[in-house]
Amino acid sequence: KAGVTQTPRYLIKTRGQQVTLSCSPISGHRSVSWYQQTPGQGLQFLFEYFSETQRNKGNFPGRFSGRQFSNSRSEMNVSTLELGDSALYLCASSSVATNEKLFFGSGTQLSVL
């Protein structure tokens, strides 16, 4: 069974640009969560989607948004990039059967110059 796939693996952008990151969950998993990982802040929860509905959202500005498609694939978008948005963005999927266990992708490393 394929794991969680995130694309692209690396991204370099400049301030003011926008970026879209993609996540394909494990087949059959309907919940997708996004986290921002930085050396200083650890893992910060961005949002969680289930069956195309956002069920929970973290404390991030409105520049951070996401969506989930009918096939459970998810995207997150960051508009008007700032230097502080440089981070590893991790996606995780889960299912009722996994009983709260999260399966993580390898992440997208975003660098904002």
* Bridge pairing between strands 10-13 and 108-112: parallel
Question: Could you give the CA distance from residue 80 to residue 78 in angstroms, rounded to a whole number?
Answer: 7
- Per CB under 8 A, the segment of 13-21, 62-70, 71-79, 105-113 that binds other proteins is 105-113
In the complex, least distance from residue 4 CB atom to other proteins, rounded to whole angstroms: 7
Residues 59-88 that bind other proteins (CB under 8 A): none
In the complex, least distance from residue 29 CB atom to other proteins, rounded to whole angstroms: 14
- Torsion (CA) 67, 10, 78, 104 in degrees, nearest 10: 40
Could you say whether residue 25 binds other proteins (CB under 8 A)? Answer: no
Could you say whether residue 102 binds other proteins (CB under 8 A)? Answer: yes
In the complex, least distance from residue 15 CB atom to other proteins, rounded to whole angstroms: 27
Residues contributing to the site for other proteins (CB under 8 A): 4, 31, 33, 35, 41-43, 45, 48, 50, 55-56, 58, 90, 92, 100-107
